[in-house]
Structure 1
């Protein structure tokens, strides 16, 4: 069940603010979901909320839910304080937390979705990535310009990260999945995509910002 469906249990305000770094005596079980998975669940939730496309929002939520459920957790949105909560699956029955199954509230994970500056950060990143794409177009033209435009959109909308902050896995995802499916690339564009990514990174060195968050 998607986290956009609010929690209806009575304990949501009493989870121990677990966070991915929470702790208790049973250290191996507090919590069971890795910190990097919590970060990714938060990112996907924010992307789902920000997009104007219902199909894209559903896609992000599905990816988020599959990620969390892979660690035997269930995502919920606590509306009263705009918090993403991840509950151990074993606590749940018919979508509701069963109080008698909670051995320690620290196993739950809470992530506030109301942090200041999130929308501003997205706009800052997107503006920077677009500026890099423009620099590539001015200096190199096609086909690098087309790839730069697609890569800027990919990094802004999927990761909210600068184009020159892409990891090798992100570059591979763009090259092998996003560009062929969403970029309508020419054969020439596909043939030089690795060169284009290097050109993008080089052009970014001459574009100011964004500041570190």
Structure 2
């Protein structure tokens, strides 16, 4: 079992995402430095691993590393390591849970902002669930761009009204998802 609390893991993930989305190098480096300091307090370090399915934040005990390389002979318990998917598909086994959360967001957007925004929110929910098996709240800027530029025009069969408010609909939907809309 990992030595890191859920709060520390969440903070490391948040700082990593902020660094990835930062507009300048100094800002990105400041977030990475804060992540390093946070993990270091617990004897951990982090790296980003690229895979075919996206990038993964890997947090592991410092003692596993020598000269910047993980030494397999130093790994006493692999469960002490933590991996957080940063991009690519989520867990397809959790699709139903993800879909329920995303549909709750759609309902909230429809109720608060009307049918047109709700229809766009539904298209975003379809995209995030079917293509990434992820909640809308976890959508990356690249995934949202892919939705707006590729998925929406080709697959959503939008009306002119939907096209006219797409940017605002995405903002409203992401804001509702980030606000923790309940599943009930």
TM-score (norm 2): 0.50
Specify the structure having the higher radius of gyration (Cα): 1
Q: Which has the higher contact order (CA 8 A, sep 6+)?
A: 1
TM-score (norm 1): 0.44
